[in-house]
Structure 1
């Protein structure tokens, strides 16, 4: 009985936090964005400027394929889409997901490490349900460790 009461309180708290996050997101989107003036507006260079290579030496550069481009969030509850509970195609797990948003695609990763693309979700859905970014990680594995997977 106490587990149900605690779970209901937690669910109510989660719903309230998602509502507050949505309100803050909408407020942020309504805020006007100033456009800074260009420092070189109307100035023409006297002679052509030579193109300069990246300032880091090649051995210190991070190749772009190693960089993580996307965001992740935990989703502990069952994920219900179109009245259907989403389950892992390989192991059947239906809760405790990591939801990954990258390159306008949404991927689900279960606790066992199986990944599947979820075409019924989009980046807008992810943005509505995610919290603000609390950390940045250099690798995919670092981010999974941070999220407890």
Structure 2
């Protein structure tokens, strides 16, 4: 099979709105434009937490139509961004990663003692009263 011509096979992107708690679709918008998303948010007030990707149109729509909503990154994009950053770092330091550690190798660096690390290290620490991550999938669901 040969190359595909994007003009012959244009891509159309829309926006799927999902209730994170029920994992069910709420609505499908015809595009990813700021005005479309902002209009939908104004017509459906009450969103407290908006889980989204990093598209600037979504950022602007939330600021315009639901400024009090908490914006969080979705797990897929967090993992994608993390894996990209790790890959770039490994590629950048490929030479030193391939070199075997000799007897002159320095001891491992200790993490700085910051307020965040102090909270995390406390037994039973939860990181706050309100979780900013979407709920984990329930047992029995695919």
When normalised by structure 2's length, the TM-score is 0.24
When normalised by structure 1's length, the TM-score is 0.23
